[in-house]
Structure 1
């Protein structure tokens, strides 16, 4: 009943509205920015089928490569991922349709979608997510179908299609295929409910967001402290739900609540470098909205320390730095950060 009310509220709203530190990668900042650009360009070309004479290794080699691609993503190693992920997409297409589909094409496109969303490449993201959905449905993989739905919901939210985003996420969470005692199925439901909570936050409904987050928290507590589905949405656990709450409180317009939520997260307990970078970027966003410039810069520098390739390439970080440059005094630290992310001070 509450979910139907949330959807009804959204429908009504829509109608009414008719000195640089040493970087651990050993790369220069400009190389990190270029790695993000190369990743997008190579994934695009792979998706468009522009590579000829694709060599298709054995299934064992391909799945080893997929595991390494996930490792690259979790480590925010864009340069390595720019080589590995397009190669996987090409090889997966070349062998698609064979007997015993092992989900390689679906996993490759789901990973590509997450990467493209992070780099704000919405057009390619839609393409990748829809291909993932079709491949998952053809392979009869309910868990992967649900994850593709979650990615589509994220893209719909980013397009400000809030009613559609909420409908996609909640319909997928309530699908009978995700019912059962398997931890992975419960974790996927939790990820979908989290996505719905974030969408509700974007509409300004903080109470609805917290209610849905509470639902996700209850699922996570039943599963225990270990992260489940690490390769789907960064893992699902009580800690990752709390991390998601930081973003959601920011989106709902309450930076003080976002910072309070962040205090309950120990960054070292997060399951990957990518999640830790997300934490510090979300904290920086909250400080920026609260006009705490120095704290914002410190949080961005922490994100950069953990994940320089991601921090230098992400449009969200560039936007934060640009805002700092035009909204107040500039410092040596801020000018150095701006140079490293490719923003002119």
Structure 2
């Protein structure tokens, strides 16, 4: 359940507006570089921005991420992979802020940069973000094609554990789209495929900068998918199977509680809904 307002993912509307305006100017090349262009410092700055995102540090992120983009663009020659990662984070943030028009620009830029450096994981992730935007636009068939085509790419299959984890993220995204299409059986089949990939990975928390991928995150997507399919009872059953401590970030744990709140709201459970929102 999203709160009302211009930017549902950020509690302070003014902070949401500030984030969008700064990201817009940085994306359009209207912001002057404001940090060190040392490659190691730039990489550390992006890592810090990812931590801000995972922990909900939006005030810090409003300073750090636009500054990173402007400075990274000024480096000659530019680090295409580092910039691609920056634009992937930008896209995820803009999606949460419901700024789809600017999100399309950031996602397409991430895809071009990932293609330029030949990084299979970043390229597949750009397809996943484009699919999210397509789903939000109501283009469900295109969203499914983007995710499932990217998941079958030979380069991604050859990318080891990160590539397998990204395949899982793509397939669970496809499952969510299937739920929006009114295809719960297809959604559960795809979710089971993603869960099998997660269970086969030897590392517990893959792709933390992309939201994380492990059995708990697959189950979290199932919660959201059952909710989107209009089945709040199944949503709550799936949610109760998750230990929130196994989710990789504050952002993911908050998503769990808001999905639970939404399910309770649909069933008319006012007190349980409020409790879940407060937990989020």
* The two structures share one fold, judged by TM-score above 0.5: yes
Partner of 1:263: 240
For CA contacts below 8 A with separation 6 or more, give which structure has more relative contact order. Answer: 1
**2:32 maps to which of 44, 47, 52:** 52
Whether 1:89 and 2:66 are equivalent positions in the alignment is no
String of CA shifts for 1:237-262, please: whole Å, max 9, x gaps: 00110011100100111011010000
Which structure 1 segments of 5+ residues have no match? 1-29, 304-345
Task: Give the conservation status (yes or no) of the 8 Å contact 1:228–1:235.
Answer: yes
How many pairs does the alignment contain?
271
5 Å-filtered alignment, 1:177-256, equals: 177-180=155-158, 182-224=160-202, 226-232=204-210, 234-256=211-233
Provide the rounded CA distance (Å) in 1 between the counterparts of 2:203 and 2:190.
19
Which structure 2 segments of 5+ residues have no match? 1-9
String of CA shifts for 1:118-144, please: whole Å, max 9, x gaps: 111110110100000001001111110
Partner of 2:7: none
Provide the rounded CA distance (Å) in 2 between the counterparts of 1:175 and 1:258.
32
String of CA shifts for 1:12-53, please: whole Å, max 9, x gaps: xxxxxxxxxxxxxxxxxx983322221111111111111136
Bigger drift between 137-146 and 180-189 goes to: 180-189
Secondary structure class of the residue paired with 1:214: helix
TM-score (norm 2): 0.93
Provide the rounded CA distance (Å) in 2 between the counterparts of 1:255 and 1:198.
15
Task: Give the conservation status (yes or no) of the 8 Å contact 2:37–2:72.
Answer: no
Partner of 2:6: none
CA pair 70-181 structure 1, distance change in 2 beyond 3 A: closer
String of CA shifts for 1:205-243, please: whole Å, max 9, x gaps: 1000000000000000001461101111x1100011001
Provide the rounded CA distance (Å) in 2 between the counterparts of 1:81 and 1:70.
8
TM-score (norm 1): 0.76
Whether 1:141 and 2:119 are equivalent positions in the alignment is yes
The Cα shift of 1:181 comes to 6.6
Whether 1:293 and 2:270 are equivalent positions in the alignment is yes
Task: Give the conservation status (yes or no) of the 8 Å contact 2:91–2:106.
Answer: yes
5 Å-filtered alignment, 1:250-329, equals: 250-303=227-280
CA pair 162-53 structure 1, distance change in 2 beyond 3 A: closer
